[in-house]
Amino acid sequence: MNPAFSRYAVMAFCTAWMLAGCSQQGSTPTAEQQQARTQAADAARNLDTYRQLLRIGNDEMAVSMGKDIVKRFPDSDAAKEVQKTLPAIEKRYTEVSEKSRLAGLWLYQVAPMAGGTQSTATIENSQPAGGDRVRLVLRRHTSWGQSVFLYGSKPGFVCRGNCTIATTVDSKPVRIKAFAPSTGEPALMIRDDQAFIGMLRKAKKLGMDVTLVDGEKKQALVYEVGGFDPAKWAVVGKGGKK
């Protein structure tokens, strides 16, 4: 074999091998590039999940996923798309959740009572948070008619004859006339039940200041009444009022 040809062949092979090596080295992504690709794939996958949650109307999960996308991939196209819809979805979810929470504070019951049937709508004070609860009760009874009262634990409330409950209705001061039942129950009966219920239907929050017999301790009761649903308070008997 011609020595010159052999030398050129070897040189050509080495050159081709070096070029192939350089080409292969240039196509290998760096650690930063690999991380960026992984993040882009994760963002795209999470964005697809976010879109599906919006389609099925799952606002709770959509808000959670949307916030995660914006937090983890703030500069991504996925985050930019999410930010176009997330504020409205979060606002709607917050409003619906609060409405559901307020509605859940009320308990509606129909049951036999003292030879008749009674229908009640009851809510407990949300403030103060500790201590015994005082229930605000709306009651309809087949024999006794309609009444509204506060019901606590014994020995009950200070109310000599007629008394006045200093009340705020959505921060507006109102004075509510009440009396203690002659049966000795730990209750305060509202004099004008119909007016109170009319006021309640429009209110969001009631504040009622009472004095407890035990040590004549004054207590400011707060009721979040905005979730009251009159339709769930069943009418019983002829004396029932809507």
Phi, psi of 33 (to 5 degrees): -65, -40
User: What is the maximum span of the chain, computed from C-alpha positions, in angstroms?
Assistant: 130
Residues 114-158 pLDDT 10s: 889 999 999 999 999 877 899 999 999 999 999 999 999 999 999
Q: Which segments of the chain have a pLDDT < 70?
A: 1-27, 238-242
Name 231's bridge partners.
none
pLDDT of residue 237: 76
- pTM here is 0.78
Do 69 and 43 form a contact (C-beta atoms < 8 A)?
yes
Instruction: Specify the pLDDT at position 13.
Output: 41
pLDDT for the residue numbered 17: 43
pLDDT at res. 238: 61
Looking at residue 75, its amino acid is D
pLDDT of residue 29: 78
Give the residues across from 162 on adjacent strands. 179
**Coil, strand or helix: which one is 147?**
strand
